A and B are shown apart, each in its own frame.
Chain A
Amino acid sequence: MFKLVRRGIAANLGRLLLTLASVFIGVAFVSGSFVLADSLRAVFSQVSEDIFAGIDAQVQAVEPELSSGFDLPRFDGALTEDIRALDEVEYAEGGLFAFEQTYTLDDEGEVNRPLGPPVFTSSWGGPSPVSAFTLLGGEAPAGQEIAIDQLQADTAGFEIGDTLTVALPTGQPEEFTLSALIDFGEGGAGGSYFNLFDLATTQRILELEGQVDSIVVAAAPGTDTDTLLTALDAVIPEGLEARSAEDVIADQEEEFGTVIDLIGNVLLGFAIVVLFVSIFIIYNTFAILVGQRTRQLGLLRSIGASAAQVRTMMLIEAAIIGLVAAVAGLFGGIGVAWLLKQLFSTAGGAFPDGPLEIQPRTIYVVVVVGLLVTLASALIPAFRASRVSPLEAVRDGGRKERSMLFRVVSGSAVILPGLILLGFGLFADIDGTAERLAAIGVGGGLSFLGVSMLSALFAEPLGEVLGYPIEKVKGVTGRLARENASRHPQRTATTATALMIGLALISGVAVLTASLLRTFDQLLEEAIVADLFVFEENQGLPFPAVVVDELEKLPEVDAVAGFATIEARVDGEVSDVAAYETATGIEVVNVGVSQGSIDVGTGGIAVLSDRAEELGLVLGQSVEVEFEDGFVTELTVEAIYQEDGFIGAPFVVDRALSSEHVASDDVGFVGITLAEGFDITAARTAVEAAVADVAQVVVQDNSEFRAEAEEQISQLQVIVIGLLVLCLVVAFFGIVNTMALSILERIREIGLLRAVGMTRSQLRASVRWEAVIVAVFGSLLGIIMGVLLGWATVTAVPDITGLAIPWTQLVIYLVVGAILGVIAAYFPAARAARLNVLDAIAHE
């Protein structure tokens, strides 16, 4: 038995390797997503541990429920002295940390910053034994001195002793001498930049005199952490807490964990899609192998192999392939993880260095997934193999095609429930997008299967139609190609399936993203009325609201509004709230006010219509709002609005009110309309001059701003399609495989053609054209399926309103599909042409 399996594998090595390749890719992605996530987690926890080395406890504000910024709440730094005075304390130091506040400037006055990761401003924790930072060279900063990280220094070309101009949140850049280069923890912090000053300077430039956001504490010798915490609790006021270093580290790890899990899950999602495609390919390969081995299977049955033995034999073969693919995929995954790290790094993300982590969990999951996927795909072919009659050993005439009736019945049995579910998901009155998408997902999956089962029905007529022009142009080779493609509809359909699935996924996504883009475009068109926009170029990060005041002074400016998103408790629920100058905001952004006036003033609030309905709020009613500083007020509902797409929050308050109650008065963007009689170019220059001191922001006009926003979605599309191209790679292996098998099936016939005078090149041409027909057939079906599924999804998601079908892209996919077919046919065609005529005729 094992011998038979082993020899069978050896004899079919080539095609099994191709099958293996498709399992491998899927498995490698699963493994890669685990390895990457685990490695990141390990690196970040190492960083956290480095930072807290030597520290036993930290005093910080109790995490507030409401907070609009990224920064920790600040408190009075005088507490540091009280803590130092404790007997249990060896050492204590206050620190102040801020996210995206100061930037070093280059010669042109542009900010230095990495592409993805943030820029941190922090007080220098040294020269204490507990500093989070390590001096790489130079002296700790004091007064008008700054220390920066090595990465930033290298990138910007700064050296110790240089005078750096630093943009500050005050809007007044200052000069600092570069006194030191530092490292955060050990091994950097994922490409972030650091600007460090002594504590007093940090407090001054952040306009937080006397404030700190944490006090780190080292215990006196012989004092354990619990004793230390108890002692600290006795001196710290209400609203602050003392936490052990372990707890703080654990919290940080959890925070990193969410982001890392997200990356891991996205990768895993792609892995699942790739595995889905692989299942079809493995199934196909085994189905064809069984077909080709019918005679041999019949022979085994005739000399006494039981059905169970034949089945086991096929399954062992599958298990071996699955296992090999899984092990290879495990290592491949390490490659994938490494590659992704490089990719992120070249994109500016500079992943922290660290070894790749391979946890036992990764190994089991990968091995189990590889095995299960392969075995599951081989199950049906194995059962079919076990049902081969012993008489097949003597029967001539190759593979039997399944009856059309059987195919129609079984295909319909799958596709009908699929379509019903799909229709249900699309048109039925279901609450919730998730349920709707689930119905569409399962329905779509079933329809997929059904179409692939039924595709043999279309293979004959479509093969004839697609082959017609080829026959007209290429004569006899074209005719043979056409006949071969339409003669065995099942074979053609099987070969085409792989491509069909790959292209269906890609075109589905193409339709979805094109529709998203159109929807977004419509949204922007309606929402944006401002002439000019000011925002942080890189990531749309918040910047100081002083900009708004500066701009108001300009004669060129008619209306200006700065938009912030804060957190507040509205009617008892924590929610995002948009805050802007509501009197002028209407000139800048159109939120589709349906009732009342959006100029709500400091005593009013505007509510999104959906939310108003949910909360039962009507115009004139009052609602309780609590801000992050604890301030509670009753606001009157002054307006109901329809469009939250652009401001991204279900409530609007006036910024004059909110700015009084937030920790840092920042805005996400500023919109401006120009006064009558001013030329836009001149006005823009004036605006640019006015915001020059806040170096990180840029000014764009309406159409530039819109283009930029759209650009971001297009990038998303590129990334998604890029990863889906992987499915095409898998599909490509599939089509090479099935193409090779389908040629092998016909070796005798090929010998005959050659014997009656067909030349090698004619033979190659006919195989190639057949491949084109088959590939176009598969691509066409796939694209149709994809467009239908994309359309279905667009219909199901209420937020996507503009269905768009990217025809040009689809045509490109069709051509790519055909080209893939030709490439896939290259080796089988060459092999067929090389065959010795007599050997071919004698071939079993």
Chain B
Amino acid sequence: MPTTSPTISATMAARAVDAIKVYGSGDTEVHALRGVNVGFERGRFTAIMGPSGSGKSTLMHCMAGLDRLTGGEAYIGDVAISTLNDKELTRLRREKVGFIFQAYNLVPTLNARENITLPLDLGGGDIDDAWVDEVIDAVGLSDRVTHRPNELSGGQQQRVAVARALATRPDMVFGDEPTGNLDSRTSSEILTFMRSAVDELGQSIVMVTHDPISASYADRVLFLDDGKIVHELFAPTTDSVLDAIRDLGH
């Protein structure tokens, strides 16, 4: 496992170069990202930490193609997101990227399995049922596939969301505090699953978290403050993360 920052290169699953994001204009101008350079390697699990308002969500949204940067560029593989039109961007979101939100991210009228296969259905291609079953099995939802979201617990709902993000075998899965709403036991189940997706399936994942324990599941932790990356940590443990946070003055 590397212990130094990898050189950002086009072979990476996703990267941002001089990423700048400004919300509003004039008096209400907010600089959410002030020139972020970051790359996420394939088959790695990265955590992003930082105080509230430091730009973590903004970074996730812009890198996942949900929002556009004001300056700089974000890439998925070697595709520059800013060059894509709406159609291409939609395709990118459907095929190359998975996103796990903190909450409210299932379609309430569809059951668990339908939610998981939704991106595949939207793509209109044939669905690899064996793979879908494998994912469902892996997240431990085999006996819940016909349940609607309101019949599932928070942890189960989030597992469905993770399974949905993985179902398309995307280049990169982004998670914005995916365990933020869950108790510690459910959190650890989800994180263990994400970890195994990285180790066994070679999935690339990056997630935002506030919790040092959650961060310790990752291979690498990036610290963001006021729109800039201020620190990073490799092979983190709960203690090393806590130390880093203390050192950064929070």
What residues make up the interface of A, taking CB atoms closer than 8 Å to B? Answer: 1, 3-4, 7-8, 10-11, 295-296, 299-307, 309, 389-391, 393-394, 844
**Chain B positions within 8 Å of A11 at CB level:** 108-109
Chain B residue nearest in CB terms to A298: B66
Given known A-B contacts A303-B99, A844-B104, A3 and B114 have beta carbons under 8 A apart: yes
Residue B200 lies at the interface, judged by CB distance under 8 Å to chain A: no
| B87 with A303: CB separation less than 8 A | no
- Chain B residues contacting A299 (CB-CB under 8 Å) are 101, 104-107
Docked-complex contact A393 and B101, CB < 8 angstroms: yes
Contact check, B176 vs A7: say whether CB atoms are below 8 A apart.
no
Q: Which residue of B lies closest to A9 (CB)?
A: B109
Chain B residues whose C-beta falls within 8 Å of the C-beta of A302 in the assembled complex: 64, 66, 93, 99, 101
Contacts of B57 in A (CB 8 A): 394
A306 and B119 alpha carbons, distance in the complex (Å): 11
The reply to whether A304 and B122 contact each other, CB–CB distance below 8 Å, is yes
- Kindly state the separation between the CA atoms of A187 and B176 in the bound complex, as whole angstroms: 78
Q: Are B105 and A393 in contact (CB under 8 A)?
A: yes
Interface of A is mostly: helix
**A390:B93 contact, CB within 8 angstroms:** yes
Q: Judging by beta carbons under 8 Å apart, are A306 and B90 in contact?
A: yes
Give A1 to B104 CA distance when docked, in angstroms: 20
B110 within 8 A of A: yes
On whether the beta carbons of B122 and A309 are closer than 8 Å, the reply is yes
**A303 touching B104 by the CB < 8 A rule?**
no
Q: Which of B173-215 contact A (CB under 8 A)?
A: 176
Q: Which 3 A-B pairs have the closest CB atoms?
A: A304-B94, A7-B109, A306-B90
Contact assessment for A303 and B86 in the assembled complex, using a CB-CB cutoff below 8 Å: no
Within the complex, the shortest CB–CB distance from B154 to chain A, in Å, comes to 11
A394 touches B101 (CB 8 A): yes
Say which residue of B61, B104, B107, B123 sits within 8 Å of A300 (CB atoms): B107
Query: Which residues of B sit under 8 angstroms from A309, Cβ to Cβ?
Result: 122
Contact of B67 among A1, A305, A391 (CB under 8 A): A391
Question: What CA separation (Å) do A422 and B109 show in the bound complex?
Answer: 48
B105 and A304 contact, CB distance less than 8 A: no
Residues in B neighbouring A844, C-beta threshold 8 A:
104, 108
Chain B residues with Cβ below 8 Å from A10 are 109
- B93-135 contact mask (Cβ, 8 Å, vs A): 1 or 0: 1110001011011111110001000110111000000000000
A306 to B88, CA, bound (A): 9
Known pairs A11-B108, A295-B104, A394-B176; A303 contacts B164 (CB<8 A)? yes
Q: Are A301 and B90 in contact (CB under 8 A)?
A: yes
Distance to closest chain B CB from A308 (angstroms): 8
User: Is A4 touching B109 in the complex (CB atoms < 8 A)?
Assistant: yes
Any A CB within 8 A of the CB of B147: no
A275 → chain B closest CB, angstroms: 30
Interchain CA distance A694-B148 in the complex, whole Å: 82
Q: 11 A-B residue contacts at CB 8 Å? A: A3-B114, A3-B121, A302-B101, A303-B94, A304-B94, A305-B122, A306-B91, A307-B90, A390-B66, A391-B61, A844-B104
User: In the complex, which residues of chain A have a beta carbon less than 8 angstroms from the beta carbon of B121?
Assistant: 1, 3
CB distance from B16 to the nearest CB of A (A): 17
Contact A304 B119 (CB under 8 A): yes
Which B residues touch A304, using CB under 8 A?
90-91, 93-95, 119, 122-123, 168
Q: Within the complex, which residue of A3, A8, A391 is in contact with B66, where a contact is CB–CB below 8 Å?
A: A391
State how many angstroms separate the Cβ of A736 from the closest Cβ of chain B: 23
| Residues 26-76 (chain B) with a chain A CB within 8 angstroms | 57, 61, 64, 66-67
- Least CB separation from A386: chain B residue: B86
Name the CB-closest residue of A to B105.
Answer: A299
Output the residue of B93, B110, B123, B164 with the most chain A CB within 10 A: B93
Q: How far is the CA of A309 from the CA of B119 in the complex (A)?
A: 12
In the complex the two chains form, is B122's CB within 8 Å of A7's CB? no
Most chain A Cβ neighbours within 10 Å, of B57, B107, B119: B107
Given the contacts A302-B66, A302-B99, A307 and B123 also touching, CB distance less than 8 Å = no
* B residues less than 8 Å from A301 (CB atoms): 90, 93
Query: What distance in Å separates the Cβ of B162 from its nearest Cβ neighbour in chain A?
Result: 13
Q: From residue A293, how far is it (CB to closest CB) to chain B in Å?
A: 10
What chain A residues lie within 8 Å of B114 (beta carbons)?
A: 3
B151, chain A: closest CB distance, angstroms: 14
| Beta-carbon contact of B101 and A303 below 8 Å | no
Would you give the shortest CB distance from A748 to chain B, in whole angstroms?
13
The CA of A302 and the CA of B104, in the complex, are separated in Å by: 13
CB within 8 Å for A303 and B108 given contacts A1-B122, A3-B114: no
Contacts of A306 on B, CB cut-off 8 Å?
86-87, 90-91, 122
* A307 lies within 8 A of B86 (CB): yes
Other A-B pairs beyond A10-B109, A394-B102, 15, CB < 8 Å: A4-B110, A4-B118, A302-B64, A302-B93, A303-B94, A304-B94, A304-B122, A305-B94, A306-B87, A307-B90, A389-B67, A391-B61, A393-B105, A394-B101, A844-B104
Which residues from A are CB-within-8-Å of B106?
A: 299
CB distance from B100 to the nearest CB of A (A): 10
Q: Taking CB as reference atom, which chain B residue is nearest A7? A: B109
